[in-house]
Amino acid sequence: MNEQIRAREVRLVGPEGEQVGIVPLERALQLAADVDLDLVEVAPMARPPVCKLMDFGKFKYESALKAREARRNQQQTVIKEMKLRPKIDPHDYETKKGHVVRFLKAGDKVKVTIMFRGREQSRPELGFRLLRRLSEEISELGFVEASPKQDGRNMIMVLAPHRATKAAAVAAETAAQGSRTRPPREGDGAGAAPAVTTADTTAE
């Protein structure tokens, strides 16, 4: 960048991508100074190397934001877990459903586990009925990705947010990130990825 470039002449590209042509390095540096921009080598292996006029600080800042967004999009889907009993109290059920709704609105999947004890294992229809009720009541936010299945003493169903629900969650998170973002100072990194936690609650 700028005086660090060692080539005698460069193929210059303007700030809007326009081709200026091959010019001596001194001329390219003067043009950069005239418009208060940096001269940045973007294709050092070319002959002559290609340089572009740009605001390098702004370029680094935007690159950091793009890298952070790419990491967010590549993150594995978070799966929360909610445990219930087949004969759950109505108040406890509403509380647990509220947690499921919150998880789905945040764009997370939810593994709902019905835990059977003792003679309850002979009444799997209680679990099926409870899971069907839950899936119907949250249908505006999510759908059943994995149908209820008996697994030993437990019955498991996986709920996933609708695409629109997940998109709204990502948009909200991006807006929140943006409100806390400041232009980077020299030496700043790209920022760490947000931490994720899981929930594991059981209703008697």
* DSSP secondary structure of the chain: -GGG---SEEEEE-TTS-EEEEEEHHHHHHHHHHTT-EEEEEETTSSSPEEEEE-HHHHHHHHHHHHHHHHHHHSPPPEEEEEE-TT--HHHHHHHHHHHHHHHHTT-EEEEEEEP-GGGGG-HHHHHHHHHHHHHHTTTTEEEEEEEEEETTEEEEEEEE-HHHHHHHHHHHHHHHHHH--PPPTT--S-PPPP----EEE--
The Cα 8–Cα 25 span in angstroms is 5
What pLDDT, on a 0 to 100 scale, did the predictor assign at position 197?
42
In 165-202, which positions are buried (b, 16+ CB within 10 angstroms) versus exposed (e)? bbebbeeeeeeeeeeeeeebeeeeeeeeeeeeeeeeee
Burial class of residue 104 (count of CB atoms within 10 Å of its CB; 0-12, 13-18, 19+): buried
What pLDDT, on a 0 to 100 scale, did the predictor assign at position 57?
86
Query: What are the average pLDDT values for consecutive 10-residue runs of the chain, which has 204 residues?
Result: 89 88 91 90 90 89 84 70 93 95 92 92 91 95 93 92 82 69 49 43 46
User: pTM of the entire structure?
Assistant: 0.50
What pLDDT, on a 0 to 100 scale, did the predictor assign at position 180?
58
What pLDDT, on a 0 to 100 scale, did the predictor assign at position 103?
94
What pLDDT, on a 0 to 100 scale, did the predictor assign at position 71?
74
Angle between helix 90-105 and helix 124-137 axes, rounded to 10 deg: 50
The structure tokens 């370029």 sit at 59
The Cα 33–Cα 24 span in angstroms is 14
